[in-house]
Amino acid sequence: MATTFPDRQRTLGSLLRLPYQALQSAVYGALAERGFDDIRAAHSAVFRHIDADGTRLTVLAERAGMTKQSMAYLVDALAQAGYLTTAADPHDGRARRVLLTRRGDQAMTALLELSADFEQQLAARLGAARMKRLRTLLEELAGVVEPAGAADTP
């Protein structure tokens, strides 16, 4: 029987991806149970990168590492569902900012709560000290790999 590459060694990508996929599954499944059943994991590219006072579409796309067209698709879907709206940029009247609506703010709050719940569940399984150490290491890793000034939100 041939050994496949994944059987030989778990790559760093795999070790980072598997817990993230579990987090995504838990958070978005529970989000649907809270009445936000039209939000998908793909929408996290918007929620993760939007500022409290709104963000230009081009900035959202840049932060998410995706094309403006792909981000516009996600923003349009969330706007049609009532989670986002747009308004004139106060610094540039020609530009528009994407803003969370009240419903969008409620969804963001739920996402943050569910993410924290998942982290608490992990802490219960790993132990509080190990979870704290893992979080510290991940914070350090994020600081090493993220561009300056690009701190990530949920």
The string of DSSP letters for 71-90 reads HHHHHHHHHHTTSEEEEEET
The structural domains of the chain, ordered by start, are 20-143 (1.10.10.10)
Rounded CA-CA distance 66/45 in Å is 9
CA 126 vs CA 17, 63, 65, 132, 139: distances in Å: 18, 32, 32, 10, 18
Q: What is the pLDDT of residues 94-152, one digit of tens each?
A: 888 999 999 999 999 999 999 999 999 999 999 999 999 999 999 999 999 976 545 54
Instruction: Give CA angle at 135 (131, 137), nearest 5°.
Output: 115
Structure tokens at 2: 């041939």
Averaged pLDDT, 75-89: 95
- Which tokens belong to 40? 């998908």
Q: How far apart are CA 154 and CA 146, in angstroms?
A: 15
pTM of the model: 0.83
Report the C-alpha gap between 110 and 35 in whole angstroms: 10
Distances (CA, A) of 17 to 10, 42, 103, 129, 153: 11, 15, 29, 22, 18
Rounded CA-CA distance 69/75 in Å is: 10
3-state secondary structure of 101: coil
Sign of the alpha-carbon dihedral angle for 92, 93, 96, 98: positive
User: Would you state the pLDDT for residue 88?
Assistant: 87
| pLDDT above 90 for 49 | yes
pLDDT for res 90: 84
